[in-house]
Structures are given as C-alpha cells and as structure tokens.
Structure 1
C-alpha cells in the first residue's frame, strides 16, 4: 500500500494523486505540512518538500520520480506511450510545465495568493522569462485533445495540476493571464480533463482542504 504524504492544495501533490487515481492504485493519504523538521519526514524528503510517498520498499520524494515509479510499478493502464520517442515527448512536456512554467510563476505566488509583495525588478524579470517560456511551451503542447495528443498521459497530470495556477498567478499580478495572452487556450482542455472522475476527486478534495484553511 502506498501512502501519499502532503496536502491536497499542492499542485505537485495533486499531480501524483491524479496518476494514482487514473491507475486505480490503492493508496492512503497522510497530511504533512511543508518545512517539517520531523525526522520521519526528513529521512524521506530531505528538503522537507511535499509530496513524498511511503512504500513497502521505502520512501520516495520529488513528484516526477514518484510518478515514474508509479508508472513502472503499476503499468496498466499506461500513462506513458509504449513508443520510446512518444514517451520522451510526454516527459519533455512535463519538464516544460514543471520547470519552465510553474517554477518560474511560483515566484509570483507570495503576491498573487498570500498578501505579500514582489519587487518591481523581480516582476519584470519573471514576466520576461514567462513570456519566453510560454511561447516555447505553445510550440510543444497539443491539446488534441490532451496535452501530448489523443491519450491521457503523465503530461496531463502535470498540466491539469499546474496550468490553472500559472494563469491565476499571472492574472493576479500582471492583470492578464499570460497563457491566454500568448494564445495558449488551455481553458477548454482543463474543462475536458476536469470531467474525468480522477480530476473531480482531486478538485473536490482540494476544495474541502481550502475551506478548512
């Protein structure tokens, strides 16, 4: 039995949770906050980041390592294509979403969501990087109807969890959703994926967790 540790407001937690739900893997959830100093947490996630998982073989952190493990340990239904190049293209998309979009936009979150502020110089730097990276992402993403093509993959676990955050954060800070402004019309895609039972479960749990904070 896998234990998914973290909390349902985290997009990376939900990326992993989507993969588990899509595959029908039995798992339990354990609430773990960020920045924990608990040795039981640090022994698995040394930077105290979430999510991480506990398995009969041991613990594992970093969302991409986790979903790759899940894919290998529970291959059916597959969330990566059998063709090596097609699978690499899915991983390419995940990298763009996680590192080149969400991680850059994350520096906006203090101002966008938590009542903090970001310096004008930082806002300008982040805007320039996002404008560049979003146009690059636009060249790769398919939305046909899923992120990598006609099949739901690990790229969709990442995209569904993170693209709305990028859109909301940029709109809150810059006054416009930079994804939409660049012609990345992700809203119909999010609606489509949101009709899947796995996504509905993730959204319901996130809403319930948000209402408690």
Structure 2
C-alpha cells in the first residue's frame, strides 16, 4: 500500500531535522515552517533543546511560529520546566516570537531570575512582550532585582527590557539609584540615562553613570 504523501513528507522532515549536516537540518526546518504540520511540533521543540547551530535554531523557532498557537504554546510552556538551559532559553525565545499572552502566567520569578544568563535574558525579552496591561509595575519590580547582574551584554538586555516597560519603571529605577550595591546603582543610573537618550548608546550611559557616582551623586539630580 502506498503511503500518503503527507506522511512521507512528515517522515522526510523528521529525518532531515536529525541529519548530521546543519544545512540539511536548516532546509528541513524551513520545509516544516512552509507547510505546517501539527504532528511535528514535538520534534521541533525537542530539536530546539539540542540544536547547536544558532541559525538552525532560529529557523526552528520560525517553524514553530507557523504552527497553531493553541497547540504549540502549551507545549512550549511545558518546556520551560526542562533542566536543560538551552531548552528553557529557546522555548522562551519562541514564546516571545509567537506573542500569545496565554503564556504570561508561565513567566515566573524563577525564570526571570534564572541562574543562567541566556535563560534570564530570554525570559526578560519574553516577559516585556507578554505582560498584560496593568502588570508592568510588578514586572519592573522583579526585573529590578537583577540590576547589576552579569556582563555588559546581560546588563544591556536588562536595561532594554526595563525601558520597554515605559514610564512605569522610573520609580523602581529611582529607588535602585540609592541601592547599597554600587553595581546596582551604576546599572540603574545607566538605564535611566539610556531611556532618556537611546541614540547615545549603552557604553556612553555607563560612562555617565560612573561620572555621576564618582561625584557622589545618585543620578536623580536635575
């Protein structure tokens, strides 16, 4: 008996997603996204957790955004409990691209403060996209607990997330400008400077924060 074409296409995609060649995996993910098949959602998510190539992961995410959100989002939320950091990070990244707010309750404090910087950064980006109206101040409060964390790239990610929340974040930033930890103070001042002049760039904002602190200021003057 001849196998239906849909089944042969799905089987071909499954084999392609596991191929040793990254270019073959990329083409397979593109094919799945071009012709979405709900039977492949689990495989796409499974592959996201272990795929070593960034550009293939991005195609896997795109393929997932092409699936029915009602089917893909619950499975992605389940993936947030994975012990594998890449699984959590890529699931968060994909949820941010889908933008379905049914995922908001999954944006827990544990994810927003995850010990892995890449997971935390993905959670910050997803949270500011998914946050419902009126919940921004609470989210800002959780994000502010991460001020001063990590390297410059991580700090810039957090600053961008805070700034994306709008004016509601300013009271939280002003409070952080007087924090006992100098790293927190510097990051808060730099974030406020960046929000006022985004074209100046983060490095300039950090330099400004250092000058303010060297002069004994808090960044709230003027």
Going by fraction, where is strand more abundant, 1 or 2? 1
Largest Rg, 1 or 2: 2
Larger RCO of the pair (alpha carbons < 8 Å, separation 6+): 1
Going by fraction, where is helix more abundant, 1 or 2? 2
**TM-score when normalising by structure 1:** 0.31
